[in-house]
Chain A
Amino acid sequence: DAKTTQPNSMESNEEEPVHLPCNHSTISGTDYIHWYRQLPSQGPEYVIHGLTSNVNNRMASLAIAEDRKSSTLILHRATLRDAAVYYCILRKNSGYALNFGKGTSLLVTP
């Protein structure tokens, strides 16, 4: 299975944009890029997903490189409630099991 690489941790100031990178150099053509986040003491929460084109929703934006070997989750204005572990996950179109790595722990400071 293709693997993802994320920084262990990142820090951001409140109200500023945050760019969370993910490398997936061995991604295959049928792999979707999913992002989930896990707030402290809670279950993971779906954030966004995409295949080739950039995607936007009410929570975040997903920018996918043209060669699909990397992607970036963008939080446009970080709030204290965005402090969480963010997981970048590759999921085949026909797949169901989510393979969570260690993710990026995002710290947001006031």
Chain B
Amino acid sequence: NAGVMQNPRHLVRRRGQEARLRCSPMKGHSHVYWYRQLPEEGLKFMVYLQKENIIDESGMPKERFSAEFPKEGPSILRIQQVVRGDSAAYFCASSPEDTYEQYFGPGTRLTVT
């Protein structure tokens, strides 16, 4: 059973470009969570999604950030017009139910130049 997959593992974008981060949950998991880890800090919750629904996006910046989890395909975290402060590691986790343990992917390290 493959674990949570994230791609790309490393992404470099220039200021003003768009970044798209993909997350494929573990087989049988319908709950997806996105977290951001800034350098030297712990992970911070961003958004919680189920198939085709955003359940809680209270941790998402109000502008430029969006997330989706379509009926088919991976979950996408989209950052428009990236700035240097968006440079971080973005982790996706999945679970079969919302109170089950979360299984994390290897992360996408975004660098904005």
Contacts and interface: CB of A to CB of B under 8 A. Distances in A.
Interface of A: 42-46, 49, 87, 93-103
B102 interface: yes
Main secondary structure of the interface of B (DSSP, over half): strand
Interface stretch (B14-22, B77-85, B93-101): B93-101
Contacts of A101: 42
Given A96-B98, A97-B56, A97-B59, A45 B104 contact: yes
Contact of B41 (A46, A49, A96, A102): A102
Contact of B107 (A43, A46, A49, A87): A43
Given A43-B93, A44-B91, A97 B33 contact: yes
B27 interface: no
A5 to B, nearest CB: 13
A102 B42 contact: yes
Contacts, number: 48
Interface of B: 4, 31, 33, 35, 41-45, 48, 56, 59, 91, 93, 95, 98-99, 101-107
B99 A94 contact: yes
Contacts of A42: 106-107
